[in-house]
Amino acid sequence: MEQQWPVALQVAFYVASGSLVLLAGVVISVALRIGKQFDRVLAAVERVEAELTPLARETRAVVNRLGDLSAGAQRAADAAGELWLPPVLLANRTARILRAGVASFLGALWNGRGTAPGNTVNTP
């Protein structure tokens, strides 16, 4: 004997199967749209990469060139310092010696004390 399903249950099965077919269609449509969006994003990223790669190379070249220029400037500054620093230090030393000599002379002149051998000047 063949068993028949109630009409309401058969309608429910037909609606459920139709819903599954419709849901599958929507999921496939959404998946295809998401795939297209990913393709667009990937193309945009590749364009940005294509533009940034030469800029990065140029930036690296500029940084290397500036580093070379900086090293050259440092060498030039060191050479200039070696050339003029010793005479400046010598002039400074000479000026200090002259200042000490002038101060001693003026102190002796002001105080009226002469320096004889064995006689020391007392300075306050």
pLDDT digit string (tens) for 52-105? 999 999 999 999 999 999 999 999 888 888 888 888 888 999 999 999 999 888
Q: Is the pLDDT of residue 119 over 80?
A: no
39 — pLDDT class (breaks 50, 70, 90)? very high
Predicted local distance difference test score (pLDDT) of residue 6: 87
Burial 2-40 (b: 16+ CB within 10 A, else e): eeeeeeeeeeeeeeeeeeeeeeeeeeeeeeeeeeeeeee
CB atoms within 10 A of CB 65: 10
What confidence score (pLDDT) does residue 123 get?
Answer: 47
Mean pLDDT score of the chain, rounded to an integer? 87
Q: Which residue has the higher pLDDT, 21 or 10?
A: 21
pLDDT band with cut points at 50, 70 and 90 for residue 124: very low
Q: What pLDDT sits at residue 80?
A: 82
Contact, 107 vs 121, CB < 8 A?
yes
123: Cβ–Cβ under 8 A, 6 or more apart, which residues?
Answer: 107
| Interatomic CA distance for residues 7 and 11, integer angstroms | 6
The amino acid present at 8, given as its one-letter code, is A
Confidence band of 106 (pLDDT split at 50, 70, 90):
confident
